[in-house]
């Protein structure tokens, strides 16, 4: 029981540490991302940071160079002084030894101690003196080494002794450990001397360089403080300069954003007469010019919309009169000569097209004026699709095309304006049949939890990617030489695009020359939902539906009988609004824009 409890406690402790480490890592990552984002978004921070980094690197290099030069200068000066002083002290010691009359070991020992004390006392500054037997020297008279501080004798290395035994003056840098544990720099200088009776000895002088080290440390601290003050001053200067430079730019960006949002009266404050003030004045003059041009364009656009609307309304009265007269003439065309009869039929056709054009112009003017209203209600898009397909059936029969409809089994309910959506689908179907050149036209409905989509695909002449980008432009035609069999106005797809946008949806086109075209209408299932994707792909697969192939239902293979090849046929595949699928034939025709 105890072991189990201890194991659980250790496991909990390990988990707690792992969790704490994970939290610390997440916080560090967030702070790093925030700093990186702040670095990228602020020119002032980048300039200030770059200046401080460059300044610190420059000061560090300068400090290293100055410190190295000062250190070498202080050491060389002190070394030269030490060498001169030790040479003079060695001559003094040799003179004392030469004048001595010691003959016994005790006298020689006393002589060595006296010389050591006298030389130690005659030096300038702190130094220690050691009298050591030269390496390889032996004598019958016993005499031990003398030193002013025997604890420091071990600082004389064997290498220095051997070098001194070769003759001349030699020195070596050493470190002296103080009582507090610090290591003080020092120099040991050695030279041979001749001692009566016992032979050659070596005299060593230990000079402390702590005073020079203290001066060097003081100089480095002074340089560091001066460098820190210079960096702070450099940072403050950079911050002030960049703030004076960046603040007007940031203000200009804010004003530009306000102008882009439609606040055309927004202006930059002008202070002084420097370059920034000139920039502000130039920016304000540009904004004033843009405001005037936009105002003139808005007035011109308003006049144009009003003109189109007024002309369309005014033309309705004479059009009604002309239509009444045209219908009377058209009704009596059998009594006319062939040429007059043909003229009556052409007059009736062009009156129908003229009336459609007026209706489209009025609809476009409503969109331009922002007066278009969406009468949305919850409807099954499958019903709207079937009505639009039913209306396009006579045109498909005349053009020799075969329409294939693929519906989902479940309802595709969405908040839509049925009249506008049906108009969009009619325009797409008529456009597909018009350009299918007798090939199949496929209509597919798809839905997910956010959107409902309808694609209309033909396998006709197709269009290029550049033409697909302009297919929704007003009065645009990919091939002006191509004949219109339906007498369209050139505004149908433009109105369809506006209807899709009014629903908060998409209307997109795809096409390739010789491979046909595909149009996709995507609508949100609920009003106010922002679309992020579509249930159906815009670019279709390459396998067309052939009227020679019998089409069977997707969900129930036995629900539909096999269909013989037939032009003008509408085949519904999948679960329709009534729960079944099957062929449907449209009994009526309808003029299509």
Q: In this prediction, what percent of the chain has a pLDDT beyond 90?
A: 9
- Give the pLDDT mean for 75-83: 89
- Give the pLDDT mean for 242-271: 81
Q: In this prediction, what percent of the chain has a pLDDT beyond 70?
A: 84
What pTM does this model have?
Answer: 0.47
Higher pLDDT, 332 or 524: 524
Weakest-pLDDT range from 134-138, 187-191, 260-264, 365-369: 365-369
Weakest-pLDDT range from 157-161, 218-222, 347-351, 420-424: 347-351
Q: For the chain, give the mean pLDDT.
A: 79
- Give the pLDDT mean for 229-236: 87
- Give the pLDDT mean for 370-392: 86
Q: What is the largest CA-CA distance in the chain?
A: 171
Radius of gyration of the chain (CA): 52
Look at residue 274 and tell me whether its pLDDT is greater than 60: yes
Weakest-pLDDT range from 230-234, 313-317, 331-335: 313-317
Look at residue 152 and tell me whether its pLDDT is greater than 50: yes
- Give the pLDDT mean for 47-55: 83
Look at residue 570 and tell me whether its pLDDT is greater than 60: no
Name the band, by pLDDT with cuts 50, 70 and 90, for residue 405.
very high
d(CA 454, CA 447): 9
Show the tokens assigned to 62: 């300068």
**Best CA proximity match to 43, nearest among 233, 271, 230, 248:** 248
DSSP class per residue in 203-271: EEEEEE-HHHHHHHHHHHHHHHHHHHHHHHHHHHHHHHHHHHHHHHHHHHHHHHHHHHTT-TT------
Most confident of 38-52, 363-377, 490-504, 547-561: 490-504
| Rounded-to-10 torsion of CA 562, 567, 570, 573 | 40
Which bin fits 197, alpha (ψ -120 to 50), beta or left (φ > 0)? left
d(CA 59, CA 69): 15
Show the tokens assigned to 233: 């001053």
SS3 69: helix
Name the band, by pLDDT with cuts 50, 70 and 90, for residue 28.
confident
d(CA 416, CA 374): 8
Q: What ranges in 450-491 are assigned the alpha helix state H? A: 465-470
Residue 418 contacts by C-beta under 8 Å, 6 or more apart in sequence?
377, 379, 383, 384
User: Could you give all domains of the chain from N- to C-terminal order, each with its CATH number?
Assistant: 100-212 (3.30.450.20), 267-372 (1.10.287.130), 378-584 (3.30.565.10)
């Amino acid at each position: 029981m105890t072991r189990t409890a201890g194991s659980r406690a250790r496991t909990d402790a390990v988990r707690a540490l792992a969790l704490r480490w994970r939290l610390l890592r997440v916080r560090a990552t967030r702070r790093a991302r925030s700093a990186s984002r702040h670095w990228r978004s602020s020119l002032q921070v980048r300039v200030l940071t770059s200046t401080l980094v460059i300044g610190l690197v420059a000061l560090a290099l300068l400090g290293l160079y100055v410190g190295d030069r000062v250190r070498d200068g202080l050491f060389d000066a002190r070394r030269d002084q030490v060498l001169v002083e030790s040479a003079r002290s060695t001559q003094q010691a040799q003179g004392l030894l030469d004048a001595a009359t010691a003959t016994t070991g005790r006298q020689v020992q006393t002589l060595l101690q006296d010389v050591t004390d006298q030389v130690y006392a005659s030096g300038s500054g702190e130094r220690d003196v050691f009298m050591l037997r030269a390496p390889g020297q032996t004598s019958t008279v016993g005499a031990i080494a003398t030193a002013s501080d025997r604890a420091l004798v071990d600082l004389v290395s064997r290498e220095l002794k051997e070098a001194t035994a070769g003759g001349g003056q030699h020195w070596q840098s050493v470190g002296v450990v103080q009582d507090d544990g610090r290591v003080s720099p020092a120099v040991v200088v050695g030279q041979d001397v001749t001692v009566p009776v016992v032979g050659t000895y070596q005299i060593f002088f230990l000079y402390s360089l702590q005073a020079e080290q203290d001066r060097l440390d003081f100089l480095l601290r002074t340089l560091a403080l001066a460098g820190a003050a210079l960096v702070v001053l450099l940072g403050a200067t950079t911050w002030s300069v960049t703030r004076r430079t960046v603040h007007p730019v940031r203000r200009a960006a804010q004003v530009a954003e306000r102008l882009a949002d439609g606040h055309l009266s927004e202006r930059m404050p002008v202070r002084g007469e420097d370059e920034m003030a000139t920039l502000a004045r130039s920016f304000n003059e540009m904004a004033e010019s843009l405001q005037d041009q936009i105002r003139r364009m808005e007035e011109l656009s308003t006049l144009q919309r009003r003109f189109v609307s007024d002309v369309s309304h005014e033309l309705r009265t004479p059009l009604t009169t002309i239509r009444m007269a045209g219908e009377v003439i058209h009704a009596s065309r059998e009594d006319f000569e062939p040429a007059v009869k043909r003229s009556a039929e052409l007059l009736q056709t062009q009156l129908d097209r003229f009336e459609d054009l007026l209706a489209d112009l009025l609809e476009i003017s409503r969109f331009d004026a922002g007066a278009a209203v969406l009468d949305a209600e919850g409807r099954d898009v499958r019903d709207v699709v079937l009505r639009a397909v039913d209306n396009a059936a006579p045109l498909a029969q005349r053009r020799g095309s075969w329409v294939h409809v693929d519906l989902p089994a479940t309802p595709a309910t969405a908040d839509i304006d049925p009249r506008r959506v049906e108009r969009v689908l009619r325009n797409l179907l008529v456009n597909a049949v018009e350009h299918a050149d007798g090939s199949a036209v496929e209509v597919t409905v798809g839905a997910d939890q956010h959107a409902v989509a309808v694609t209309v695909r033909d396998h006709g002449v197709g269009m290029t990617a550049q033409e697909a980008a302009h297919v929704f432009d007003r009065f645009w035609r990919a091939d002006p030489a191509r004949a219109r069999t339906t007498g369209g106005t050139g505004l149908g797809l433009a109105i369809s695009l506006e209807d899709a946008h009014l629903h908060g949806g998409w209307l997109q086109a795809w096409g390739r020359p010789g491979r046909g075209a595909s149009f996709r209408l995507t609508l949100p299932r609920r009003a106010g939902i922002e679309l992020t994707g579509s249930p159906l792909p815009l670019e279709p697969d390459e396998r067309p539906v052939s009227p020679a192939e019998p089409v069977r239902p997707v969900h129930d293979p036995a629900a539909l009988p096999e269909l013989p090849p037939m032009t003008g046929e509408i085949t519904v595949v999948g679960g329709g609004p009534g729960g079944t699928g099957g062929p449907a034939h449209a009994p009526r025709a309808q003029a299509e824009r």
